[in-house]
Structure 1
Amino acid sequence: MKKILVPTDFSEQATIALRAATNIARKSGAEIILLHIIDLPQETMDMIKPGYDLPEIMFFKEHAEAKLTQTSLSEELNGLNVSQILKLGRTFNEVTDVAKANNIDLIVMGSHGASGFKELFIGSNTEKVIRTSEIPVLAIKGTETEVSFNKVVFANDFTEETAEGFQKIIDFLKVNGAQPHFLMVNTPNNFKPTHIAEQLAHDFLKQYNLDDYEFSIYNDLDIEKGILNFAERVDADLIAMGTHGRKGFARLLNGSISEDLMNHSPRSIITFKL
């Protein structure tokens, strides 16, 4: 992992997300790129012409630049390689565009913000960032000042179409010294007998040379409830999941299920494109 993008609105929740990114950067040696977006209405964006800046926008830009510099010089970032980017535009589009342009390996966001920027983290914009990003997205939930990921629940269906994204999750877990707890959720519409589910998971996991992990099968009415209830049972620090297409477990992020999981989970969530 070489580059971590941290969108910030300078709120308390964004500060907690930055602290999580800082922990990961110290373990991996990654650079942190701070991103602030002045989220302007489309009609205002249409008024901006090359070489001409509206006085009001210049005021917000100068204020944001000062805040970004102050944040990048904070004591907890000492010893890390930190850079900053300021953008004008529509929030979720700018996050994914900046991530692609800068070869970002991980996007770390707070789950709630302040002012207009909060819309990045809740409702449809969160889903848009996750669904359009080819890059892993870590959404930090809660208000704990110390963010750690010792116990990670990774729900999967253990099919070959998830193999590429699965390796990304394994790499993330190793960097953070996390204990993986792999989960298969059995639902009435997609039920597997225990012996078949266990064999499927065993055959899938053995190709990754994992030294220490746990595996569980959990029965529930749907995938979302199964993940939330199981994560509560084992007191997980983080929920990991894959996103891709409309088959198998990837259905999780289609329709209202993904939005419900992001909004209902009290735990941080990391998503990987499969």
Structure 2
Amino acid sequence: MPIDTIAVATDFSSRADRAIDRARQLRQSTGANLRFIHATSLAEDDPADIAALTQRMRLTTGLDDKEDGVEFVFPAGSPPAAIANACERDDISMLVIGPARYNTLGDFFLGTAVDYVLRNMAKPVLVAKMRANGPYRQIVAGTDFSVGSAHAILTAARMFPEAAIHVVHAWHVPFQAWQKDSYVAEEVEKAELQNMKQFLARLKEHEARLGDATYELVMSNASEAIRRGLELDPSALVVLGSHGASGFRQAAIGSVTSDLLRAIEADTLVVNTKDAEV
């Protein structure tokens, strides 16, 4: 899945700068087209000043929409819906957004409206938190061994073919309060290790380079598993599936994935895995 066209959402604030910088870096390394989106918050029958918006977008992005491969889009309406709708075109490879403030009217992405953006985006969404100092060298992918997480990892591996893959899995002892014997934990860990090896073998069947993927089992929660993975490279890209099971389950983008988006200080790619078939 090559990266052909990247959509970038901006509200013209400094919070969007890292999304813009990451998109420009991706363009440099992949040659992708860039589609910058600013939702006007106006009613559809209320005309926007396109000339003024275009000038501001040029100043914000440092690019000109007259340049080949650069496009400015100014959809009307509520920003989360307007941005998602502007990304419906089939040529979009991903949407890149920056973290917004929490619990304010400007909290379009990492607050309650993250549900809308992620649930209504069929394509991957990259939340850019870190400075774009270079291409991603490492991918840290959380897995629950589900079809969805396999799809997310395969998608990321194909989008970023130069990045090394490190797969993490959080596990726990069922009914741990009553399972005091150490052999119980050892048996559970042994089973999880076998599941991990089988999972990676299935991934290798679809993408040969994943035969070189490294992995770690962490007896904790999903957040700690991701943090442990990031110890290898704090600038790594975290990859999560939008739907999963066990430690990475969420009913509607709002529990584990949403919590990780808030808690993890790393760029995070969320891949829509609702209809995954891998």
Secondary structure of the structure 1 residue equivalent to 2:40: strand
Q: With structure 2 as the length reference, what TM-score do the two structures score? A: 0.78
Counterpart in 2 of 1:67?
56
Name the % identity. 19
Q: With structure 1 as the length reference, what TM-score do the two structures score? A: 0.79
| Contact 2:96-2:126 within 8 A present in 1 as well | yes
Q: Find out whether 1:204 has 2:216 as its counterpart.
A: no
Counterpart in 2 of 1:172?
159
| Contact 2:171-2:192 within 8 A present in 1 as well | no
Letter in 1 for 2:55: A
Letter in 2 for 1:234: L
Letter in 2 for 1:74: L
Gaps of 5+ in 1: none
| Contact 2:157-2:163 within 8 A present in 1 as well | no
Structure 1 residues 167 and 231, CA, compared in 2 at 3 Å: closer, same or farther?
Answer: closer
Counterpart in 1 of 2:143?
156
2:167 aligned to which of 182, 207, 228? 182
Letter in 1 for 2:216: S
Distance between the aligned counterparts of 1:163 and 1:259, measured in 2?
19
2:93 aligned to which of 97, 101, 105? 105
Please state how far the C-alpha of 1:71 moved relative to its aligned partner: 4.5
2:106 aligned to which of 102, 113, 118? 118
Counterpart in 2 of 1:25?
27
Structure 1 residues 235 and 189, CA, compared in 2 at 3 Å: closer, same or farther?
Answer: farther
Secondary structure of the structure 2 residue equivalent to 1:165: helix
Structure 1 residues 255 and 248, CA, compared in 2 at 3 Å: closer, same or farther?
Answer: same
Secondary structure of the structure 2 residue equivalent to 1:163: helix
Q: How does 1:78-157 map to 2 (within 5 A)?
A: 81-101=69-89, 103-112=91-100, 118-142=106-130, 144=131, 146=133, 148-157=135-144
Counterpart in 1 of 2:228?
230
| Contact 1:26-1:80 within 8 A present in 2 as well | no
Letter in 2 for 1:109: I
Cα deviations across residues 43-96 of structure 1 (Å, max 9, x unaligned)? Answer: xx3xx64xxx4xxx645x443221124446539x99861111011111111121
Please state how far the C-alpha of 1:33 moved relative to its aligned partner: 0.4
Letter in 1 for 2:165: P
Secondary structure of the structure 2 residue equivalent to 1:123: coil
Distance between the aligned counterparts of 1:249 and 1:273, measured in 2?
17
Secondary structure of the structure 1 residue equivalent to 2:139: strand
Secondary structure of the structure 2 residue equivalent to 1:68: helix
Structure 1 residues 79 and 97, CA, compared in 2 at 3 Å: closer, same or farther?
Answer: closer
Counterpart in 2 of 1:268?
267
1:195 aligned to which of 178, 185, 190? 190
Distance between the aligned counterparts of 1:187 and 1:201, measured in 2?
14
